[in-house]
Amino acid sequence: QLHLQESGPGLVRPSETLTLTCSVSGDSLSSNNCFWGWIRQPPGETLEWIGSVSYTGSTYYNPSLKSRATISVDTSKSQFSLGLSTVTAADTAVYYCARSYAPACGGDCLDESYFDFWGEGSLVTVSS
Amino acid sequence: SYELTQPPSLSVSPGQTATITCSGDKLGDKFASWYQQKPGQAPVLVIYRDTKRPSTIPERFSGSNSGNTATLTITGTQAMDEAAYYCQAWDSYTSGVFGGGTKLTVL
C-alpha cells in the first residue's frame, strides 16, 4: 500500500524559504504514469495545486507560484521536496504531498491524472 | 486563469440524493475528479475521469461531466457522507485547478 508522509518545520519566518519533504513508501518515484505533487490549503479555504514532478523528471508549476516554487526528487531516498521562497503570511497553510496517476498514458499526461494517494498534511505557519 | 465554481453549501436529509455541481468553461472537454474531505483529514478521491469510482468508494457515489458542468451525485446519502467536496481539473494540460468546495450537511 502506498504511503506518503510530509516532514518539515512547522514555523517559517517571513521572507525565508519554506522547505518540505515527502517520503514515499510502497511505490517507486520512477513508476510509469505517476506524478508527485504538492497541494496546499490555507485555514478554512479551498485546495490549491502548487506543482508536480513526473516520473520522467519534468516539472509543472502553478503559474501563480511558479517564480517561487521548486520541486525536486531524490529517488535514492524515495523522497521529493518542495521549496517555496520569500514566504509571507499568505503562505500559511496545510501542505499536502500526493501522487497523481495517469493510467494507459504513453508519456507525460498530467492532464489525464488524478490524485489517488495523499499524505496526512503538514501545517506550516509563516510568522516572525 | 481557469476557474471551477461550486455552490458553497448543500443540505440533504438522510436517504435523499445529493447533487453537487462544478462549473467551468468547456469543462466537459477535460477530465474531472472529485475529492471528499472531512474536518482535520486529508482529501480522499471519490470520482476520477468524470465517472469512475475507486474500489474503496461506495456505489452510491457517481459522477458525470458534459458541456460546462461536472456533477457528483450521492444516492441515498448517509450521515457519514457529511464532508466538504472539491472538484478538480487540469487547465492548459499542465495546470491543476480545484473548485471552491461544497460543504455537504446531512441532517
What tens digit of pLDDT does each residue of B11-49 get? 999 999 999 999 999 999 999 999 999 999 999 999 999
* Mean pLDDT, residues B5-9 taken together: 98
Q: What are the b/e assignments for A52-71, b being 16+ CB within 10 Å?
A: bbbbeeebbbbeebeebbeb
Residue B96: name the closest of A127, A48, A41 by CA. A48
Residue A24: name the closest of A43, A39, A2 by CA. A2
Longest CA–CA separation in chain B, Å: 39
B12 touches chain A (CB under 8 A): no
Chain B residues with CB inside 8 Å of A112's CB?
31, 49, 90
pLDDT of residue A103: 86
Q: Identify the H or E element spanning A22.
A: strand A18-25
Specify the 3-state DSSP secondary structure of A40. Answer: strand
Q: What is the pLDDT of residues B52-94, one digit of tens each?
A: 999 999 999 999 999 999 999 999 999 999 999 999 999 976 7
Contact across the interface for A49 and B86, Cβ inside 8 Å: no
Contact across the interface for B48 and A116, Cβ inside 8 Å: yes
Specify the 3-state DSSP secondary structure of B27. Answer: helix
**Which cell numbers hold the place of B30?**
477535460
- Taking CA A126 as the corner, what is the angle to CA A120 and CA A128, rounded to the nearest 5 degrees? 145
Instruction: List the single residue in A48, A114, A119 with the smallest CB-CB distance to B33.
Output: A114
In whole angstroms, give the CA distance from residue B92 to residue B2: 9
Q: What is the pLDDT of residues A21-34, one digit of tens each?
A: 999 999 888 888 89
Q: What is the pLDDT of residues A50-103, one digit of tens each?
A: 999 987 788 999 999 979 999 999 989 999 999 999 999 999 999 999 999 998
Position A119 pLDDT exceeds 80: yes
A120 touches chain B (CB under 8 A): yes
Residue A73: name the closest of A112, A105, A40, A34 by CA. A34
Instruction: List the single residue in A96, A111, A116 with the smallest CB-CB distance to B42.
Output: A96
pLDDT of residue B66: 98
